[in-house]
Each structure stands twice: as structure tokens, then as C-alpha cells.
Amino acid sequence: MEVGQFYDGGCAMDVYISGIYAYMADREDGLEIIDISDPTTPVEVGQIYDGGETYKVYISGIYAYMVDREDGLEIIDISDPTSPVEVGQFYDDEGYFVSSVYISGSYVNVASSSFGLKILDISDPTAPVEVAQFNDDGSAVEVYVSGNYAYVADYMDGLEILHVTGGIEHNIAINVPVSLSSWMINFSYYINWESTGYISTVNIELYRNGVFETEIASDISNDGSYCWTLPLGLVNATNYQIKITEASNSSVYDYSENFEIYAKFITVTNPDRVSISGYNPFLFLIAMIGISVILVLKKREKNLIS
């Protein structure tokens, strides 16, 4: 049963959903950004069109990677969905026709019709650089990447499976946490890292004093950032480390610098003086109840003496 529709006269070719927005490749109308927070009433909030023909779109982080028949690969900053801005483009002298893209880490895999599969380094989205190409005179129309393999649908040759490490060294480097990081239990923090090579998914673990403590996340997309809520039960210590490992290759990993994890609490030193070293809702409630009981008893004691 249809519950909603958006149509403005264009030719919708592709769509990618991210959060409350649908990013629609609408051919002659470029990229249209639709607010779908209410699926029954989709509303266009942004658009970018530069005269080409948009056929495909892929979203990764704050960027939309737009396949334009006339202009190759266009990279759009969508941090403000109401005002998308082109920040980068790849269109070489071959004038190839881009038909599909797939993002893997800091690389974009481009199915480029008769020019096969092209791999671009997008670590700087404003200046994408071609680093590899595979072409067997077929016609690459779609591409999907999983682990170290690219699966290419070739109009002339069927399914082609390519090992896409291409001599590019796999590497992971954790940026956050650092030695000055001090993270409180039951609060959320971002773990940030960078990678090179075709690392599709990663595992994230917590270590203390070089010993495995707990799994944080398993087989998640290599997006370079993960929001972690520190669980109850961790002890106060300054020798914690985050370990991030390529999910399909355990020999590729990195440890963060040692950092602190701690629990905030309230210490009652005597009935008349409370030393507050932090805050935890549960412990705070218990402490307040205890203080209230002590104060009531002291008041009764004074009344009896008087």
C-alpha cells in the first residue's frame, strides 16, 4: 500500500537513504534531497544541478557521490542538506561514462562502462585521484565491494570478481582517544581513526594493561568514526587502549595511546561535610538518602538533648 509520494516532473533514477533524508538522483534535475521524517508527506529541502544528467548517488558521511553522465563523478558536501555544495569532481581525458560507484574506506570504486573499474583515492574529497584501473574491454555497469573484493556486473562478461588491494598497503591509525583523553563510564565518546587500502569493515576492542577487556563493536563499516557508550562495570584505570582490527585480516590493526576511564562518584566524609568528586545518578540517589537519614537522626538527637 502506497503511503506517500514525491514527484516534481523529473526522471528518478536512483535513491539512497541516510537518516531522515532520501537522496534522489533525478537525471535532468540533478540531486534532490527529500525530507522523509514523515513518510506520508515527503518534502524537498535541497537540490543541486549543474546541467548534467544524474544517474546514481552514494552517501558516505557528509558527502554525496553523484554519478553524472556528462560530468563524471561529482562529490557534494551535504553537511547542510538544505544547501548542498559541490566540492570535488573526477573527469579525466578519457571522458568515460560513470555508471555506478561504491565507497570502501577512503576509496571510491567506479564502474565506468567501457573503461572498466576505476579506483579513486578520496582521502581528500576536494581532489580525488585515480590509483588503479581494471579493464578487459567489457562494459562495467555496477560495482559492489566486500572485504578485499570488488564484484563487477559487466554487461558483456557477466559477474567479474576482482581482488582490489592493488598493491595499496593496508593500514589503520587511531586518532582518538589520545593520552590526554579521560572518558567517564556511562557517557558516550567518539573513537576516530584513519585507514589506507581497501578495508571494508573493522572490529573494535578495549584492552587494559595489554589484556583484552571487552568487545566494543564487530564487523562494522570502516567509516573512520564510532560512537561508544562506556558500559558500567569498567574499573578506574589510566592504562586502557582501543584496538581496531581489519575484520577480514587480523594482521592489520592499531592500538590507541593509553587513556583514562573512570567512574564519577560522591563520597560522604562525615555527616556535616560532603565531598563531591563527580556524579552518577544511582550513587547520587543512595548518597542523598543516606545523608537525609543522618541529618534527621542528628536533629532528633539535638531535640532530645534540649
Which three-class secondary structure string do you get for 111-136? ECECCCEEEEECCCCCCCEEEEEECC
pLDDT in tens, 224-269: 999 999 999 999 999 999 999 999 888 889 999 999 999 976 555 5
Average pLDDT score over residue span 288-305: 68
Q: Under CATH, which number does the domain 14-163 receive?
A: 2.130.10.10
Q: Which of 26-40, 57-71, 229-243 has the lowest mean pLDDT?
A: 57-71
Average pLDDT score over residue span 202-225: 94
pLDDT over 70 for what percent of the chain? 84
What is the per-residue pLDDT for 167? 47
Average pLDDT score over residue span 142-166: 83
Cell triple for residue 137?
574491454
14-163 and 171-262 share one fold: no
| CA–CA gap between residue 151 and residue 162 (Å, rounded) | 6
What is the per-residue pLDDT for 175? 95
Q: Which of 51-65, 101-115, 214-228 has the lowest mean pLDDT?
A: 101-115
Is residue 66 within 8 A of residue 50, CB to CB? The reply is: no
Domain residue ranges of the chain, discontinuous segments joined by +? 14-163, 171-262, 266-305
Is domain 171-262 given the CATH code 2.60.40.770 in the classification?
yes
270 pLDDT band (50/70/90 cuts)? Answer: low
